[in-house]
Amino acid sequence: MRRGWLALCVALCSAAPALAQKTAADGIAEYRKLLADGNPAELFEAKGEDLWKQKRGPKNATLQACDLGKGPGVVKGAFVELPRFFADTGKVQDLESRLLTCMSTLQGLDAAAIAKTPFGRGEQSNMEALAAWVASESRGARMNLPQGHAEERRMYEMGKRAFYFRGGPMDFSCASCHGTEGQRIRLQDLPNLTKNPGDGIGFAAWPAYRVSSGELWSMQRRLNDCFRQQRFPYPGYASDVTVALGVYMGVNAKGAESIAPAIKR
């Protein structure tokens, strides 16, 4: 009898702290919530808005006539429909490759030189700010990438192949980490990017401010780092493979609410 009571007590006593314990994901979610109120991405948004309206480049022009897919100068809601097909360039473009096009055609800046600039320097730091501002203008809208054009569907298939392509010294693909539910690296939950991982997660959360480095990361930079982690060679800035991956992830995330520019640890 006595032994029975003791066993019961042990069972109850050990159950109590388990109930009170937070999971790692809860802790991280709480930390993010605390940070979100003072997201320094706002500083980049303000800078981006100024840059959009500022006369720059050899042609001394603003970006206000830039067509992001919803007509010249329409920024609201454009972000959640990118990447998409653009008739003037005959290509599927994501936000950054489209901004490059506008910067070269409207302002006369050298797109190839900007693409070669390391992240966070020179014109690339302006690009981050512009991406942050354009994304912020669609905050709260739902991802809705068009798939009407044949080229958009082709890019989706290309992105899918790139996503599942294994290689490099680790024999990794994007899908190794982002292809199933409930995976994580250390304490970081990894979204399943083969389907809609939910509101404000995965594709719907970039660009984002990274607290650890104090920098704003655009989607191109995010992808660049994914390639680095796989020990693949770096993809070219605004290259077809990065845009294709964007189409694949973006179409999969259809319906997810965009919270970009978000904040990351």
- Write out the two tokens for 9: 């007590």
Q: What are phi and psi of 56, to 5 degrees?
A: -140, 175
Q: Which is nearer to other proteins, 40 or 168 (CB)?
A: 40
Count other C-beta atoms under 10 Å from residue 157's C-beta.
12
Closest CA to 124 of 133, 136, 116: 116
β pairing state of 91-93 and 84-86: antiparallel
Measuring CA to CA, how many Å separate 90 from each of 3, 80, 134? Answer: 79, 20, 22
The nearest distance, CB 89 to other proteins, in angstroms, is 33
Count of chain residues binding other proteins (CB under 8 A): 10
Residue placing its CB nearer to other proteins in the complex, 47 or 98: 47
Q: How far apart are CB 214 and other proteins at their closest, in Å?
A: 3
What pairing do the DSSP bridges indicate for beta strands 262-264 and 208-210? parallel
Two tokens, residue 132: 């942050």
Using the contact rule CB under 8 A, the part of the chain among 39-47, 64-72, 97-105, 225-233 near other proteins is: 39-47
Which of the residues are catalytic? 226
What SS3 class is residue 206?
coil
Which of 256/263 has CB closer to other proteins? 263
Neighbours of 185 (CB within 10 A): 9
Does residue 211 touch other proteins according to CB under 8 A? yes
Question: 3-class SS at 48?
Answer: helix
Site track for other proteins across 40-69, x = CB under 8 A:
x-xx--xx----------------------
Binding of other proteins by 170 (CB under 8 A): no
Nearest distance in Å: CB 131, other proteins: 17
> What does the block give as tokens for 40?
């320094």
Binding mask 171-210 for other proteins (x = CB under 8 A): --------------------------------------x-
Residues that bind other proteins (CB under 8 A): 37-38, 40, 42-43, 46-47, 209, 211, 214
